[in-house]
Structures are given as C-alpha cells and as structure tokens.
Amino acid sequence: MSTITNKILALDEKIALLQKGGGDAAISKQEASGKLTARNRIMELLDENSFHEYDLFVEHESHDFGMDKKKLPGDGVITGTGTISGQPVCIYAQDFTVAGGSLGLAHARKITKIMDHALKLKMPIIGINDSGGARIQEGVGALAGYGEIFYRNTIASGVIPQISVILGPCAGGAVYSPALTDFVFVVDQISKMFITGPNVIKTVLGEEISQEDLGGARVQAEITGNAHFFANSELECFDQIKKLISLIPANNKVKADEIEAAEPVVEKPIETIIPSDPHQPYDVREVIRTIADNSDFTEVQEMWAANIVIGFGRMGGETVGFVANQPMVLAGVLDIDSACKAARFIRYCDSFNIPIITLEDMPGYLPGVDQEHAGVIRHGAKMLYAYSEATVPKITVILRKAYGGGYIAMNSRHLGADFVFAWPTAEIAVMGPEGAANIIFAKEIKEAADPAAVREEKVQEYIDKFANPYVAASRGFIDTVIRPAETRSYILHALALSKDKEEIRPEKKHGLPPF
C-alpha cells in the first residue's frame, strides 16, 4: 500500500475512535437514561449528510488531578455546521458520555469558535446542552470558558438567532448561556436547569426538593418562563426547532423567507368567537387562527404567563409575530410576567424584521400587593418601551376591552402603531364601566334613595357613552372600525403597505429599557 493510503487509513481510524465519544459503556448508559447521544442528536436535527464537524481533534491542556493522563475525545463537545431544511446553521452539542460533558477551556473554545463562525457568516447558532457543569479539575479555566461564551452570546444577540436546547443537566454557570439566547427548548423529564441544585439548597436552607420540581422542563416552561418551547420527547423538540428555523430569518440583515400565501383553514366565522356577554372569556388563539395563513400558529412560551399569547405565524406568506391578550387566563390582565414575556418577544421581532400584530382585549393590570412589591411598574414599563422602540410594521386590532394603561401599552397609536383597527365590539375607555361609574357618580350613588338602582343606571350611562370604539375613532386614535370578517384583509393590506417602512431614530449607543 502506498503511504498516502496508509495515512488515509490512519485518519479513518482516528476519526472512528474519536467519534465514539465516551465509548460503548458510556453510550449505553446515556441511552438507558432515555437520551440520544450528542452525535445522534445532531444527525436527527440536521438535514441528512449535511453535518460537517470541526475540531474533532482538539485536546485539553490541563495537567492537575491526573488530567494529563486522561484523553477526552473532542473534549466533550461536538461542533460543526450543517443545514436545516436547506438553511445553513452552526451547531454544538455537549457530549455527556465524555467526562459528563463537563466544560473545560478547550471545550469552551470549541464552542466560542463555532459561535464566532456563526456570527461572521450570519447564520443561526444552535447549542445542545447536556453537561455536568464546570470541569472542576481545570479550576478557573472552566470559568473563563463560560465567560467567553456569555460574551459572545451578548455580542451576537440581535444579529443572529441563538437557540439553546436543554437535553440533560444544565446547572450553575452553564444556565446563563441559554438565558442570554433567544429561544430555549426543553424536554419533559430530560431537561434540568438551576443555579444551585437540590443538594446545596438542602444543606444551606434545609429545604428538600427534587431536581424535577426545582428546575425540570415543566417548571422552566410554566413557572419561570426560562424556556420557550416544551416537548415530550427529543424528536418532538427537534421538530419544534425545525419549525422555528423555517419561520425566522437567518440574521438581522434579511427578512424571513416568504412562502406562498395561503388562506386560513378554520371555518368558524370570526365574529362568533367572542361571546356577546362581556363577562365571558374565549380563547384568543382561535382569533389568530382565523386570520393567519393556513390557520398555522407557532406559539412561544405557551404555558408561562398564559394571560398573554405570543408566537409566530404567516400572513400573505410573510412571517409575522402575534401578541394577544388571552381573556381565557386571568381575564387577560397585564402583570409582571406577561409584560416581560411580551416585551422580549416584541424586541425579538423588531431585531429580526418581523412585523408585529397586536390583538387587544384586556381589562387592566393585575391588582395585588405581590405585583406592586415585585415591581410591576418597572416590569410593565418594558412593554411600553418595547413597542415604542420597535420600528418594524406595527398593527393593532382592538377586539373588545382596551382599558386604561393597557390601552396605551398594547401598541396604541400613541406608542407609534402604524395601523390601529377596532371591531364594533371594542370598548376603549379609562376603565371598565362599573369602576368608572363608582368614581364619577360616587356622590349621586351614595345620596340616592336606592343606591343600587342609581349605580346600575350610571353604569349603563357610561357604557352607552364610552364602551364603544367611536369616541377613540372620533379623535383619530384608531384608523377605522372594521367588521370582524374584514380583519385578515385589513391586516394583509397594512402589511403590503408597510413593505418599505422606515423609521429613523436619534443616534445613540443604546437605550435604557427598564431591565
């Protein structure tokens, strides 16, 4: 055999050995715990044969605690490029079979290298997290590695989409890279995220809690809001990622791919969704499905702060972001969580050139000491900031209640909405009729022979006068009152008019949103 053939054979051997990761026993253990291996995850997520691996031959340089004798294939992380439905992406996947996927400096430098690559080439970066945490033998080198990743997450923020997939433990410092990225995906029973785990909490505080109850997938998706997408299996999670990638642009300089427009498939007439009794709720997602192309709506953070609904759909083939109050949950009030949820989504859409469609039906802010003390003023202001700051096309449809601060916050004309439409069922007022009558007619009601009757009369008077869209329309605060069935065509028209929308803002380093 020629030397060249020998050299190629030797390479094949090296690759085969390194691609085995932690070896058969560790792989069996990973699979027995119901998880795919890092390499299989990449293969499942990317288009067939599209994966090109980088840095398979990287080795760590640590010597202490016997590390000089330990070979760690790929240093516990697989990095490379590939495509998802033809869209190029950069990807890394921590390999739990190699030293528990622990992060040392070489491991981190592989990640930062692929992140730099994604930023330079302007394509999404996907990180699959499955790691025991910092490689303690490396000491401060591991911390340096985390810091260098966080720095790049921040620099790349708003430039390229950053997606974190939590498919195993992600604890301590490791959680902050996902927290800095745009979308976090979790899988039931597999994802575990926390700053301090159950053991430390028990030692220090004496509180006993399981990993699942502390920071499992459901907790992150429902209670903390750290996760954006929740799946029941890894494969379902990968389908969610593929769907999201198809909806968002590759970077902030381009628009999301347009596809052929499609009519909604829901047959229920839109005007029948809203109950005539103002006290009764409905699911606002039904409204979204009656106006979106194909009735297809990809909801983001479905379980957390469900009193506001956010997500992506298409209208006329173009990707749009929906923000909608959800009367079905907590009457659709704004509160700290829903304001944070909506504000971040609005900023996402604005960063990535996605028009925002706001559907409004909200009775006001959630009253409560816990809300006030936890800073609903500061957090609620995030929404005002995000809407005002956004320069993408901004379209609002007022379906029913638009009361008080919520009227202003939900992308009102006053915050720079480009188009504001209202249904004839809209009620635009400082507050609901009962509350308003109690204040305006306090004296008359108190002094009346029959206070309840007078109160009812005054409530009706207020309803007749203000519980409609025509007062706001008479001021030009809304552009027109439309029939519910015309909603889709009005939005499509507005989007078509907004194709070349440009808004110039004063030059600044950056604003100061109420973080």
Partner 1 sequence: MEKKNEKELVPFVVLARYYNTTLTRKYLNRPKWVNPVPGEVKANLPGTIVSINVKEGDHVAQGQLLLIHEAMKMQNRILAPFAGTVSFIGVTPGQAIKKEHLMVTITKDNE
What does the binding site for partner 1 look like in residue numbers (CB under 8 A)? Answer: 204-207, 213, 218, 222-223, 278-281, 306-307, 327-333, 337, 363-364, 366-370, 373, 403-404, 431-435, 438
What residues have CB less than 8 Å from 133, skipping those under 6 apart? 102, 103, 169, 171, 172, 173, 174
Question: Smallest distance, Å, CB 379 to partner 1?
Answer: 15
Q: 328 vs 381, which CB is nearer to partner 1?
A: 328
**Alpha helices per DSSP H over 216-282:** 217-219, 234-247
Q: What are phi and psi of 471, to 5 degrees?
A: -65, -50
Least CB distance from residue 499 to partner 1, whole Å?
A: 38
How many whole angstroms separate alpha carbon 257 and alpha carbon 312?
13
Residue 458 CB, nearest approach to partner 1 (Å): 12
**Helical residues (DSSP H) of 352-474, grouped into ranges:** 369-373, 376-389, 404-409, 433-440, 442-447, 451-466, 470-474
| Residue 484 near residue 421 (C-beta atoms within 8 A) | no
Give the nearest distance from C-beta 386 to partner 1 in angstroms: 22
Please identify, using beta-carbon distances, which residue of 54 and 282 lies nearer to partner 1: 282
Q: What is the DSSP string of 370-392?
A: HHHHTTHHHHHHHHHHHHHH--S
CB of 413 to partner 1, least distance (A): 23
Closer to partner 1 by Cβ: residue 49 or 280: 280
In angstroms, what is the minimal distance from the CB of 433 to partner 1? 7
- Nearest-angstrom CA–CA distance, 96 and 29: 10
> Within 13 Å, how many C-alpha atoms sit on residue 60's CB side?
29
Instruction: CB nearer to partner 1: give 169 or 433.
Output: 433
Q: What is the DSSP letter of 239?
A: H
Nearer to partner 1, 205 or 497 (CB): 205
For partner 1, the closer CB: 83 or 196? 196
Q: Residue 415 CB, nearest distance to partner 1 (Å)? A: 21
Q: Phi and psi dihedrals of 511, rounded to 5?
A: -80, 180
Nearer to partner 1 by C-beta: 61 or 370?
370
What one-letter code names the amino acid at 119? Answer: L
Cβ 107 vs Cβ 90: under 8 Å = no
Nearest distance in Å: CB 212, partner 1: 8
149-170 CB burial, b ≥16 within 10 A, e <16: beebbeebebebbbbbbbbbbb
Q: 356 or 431: whose CB is closer to partner 1?
A: 431
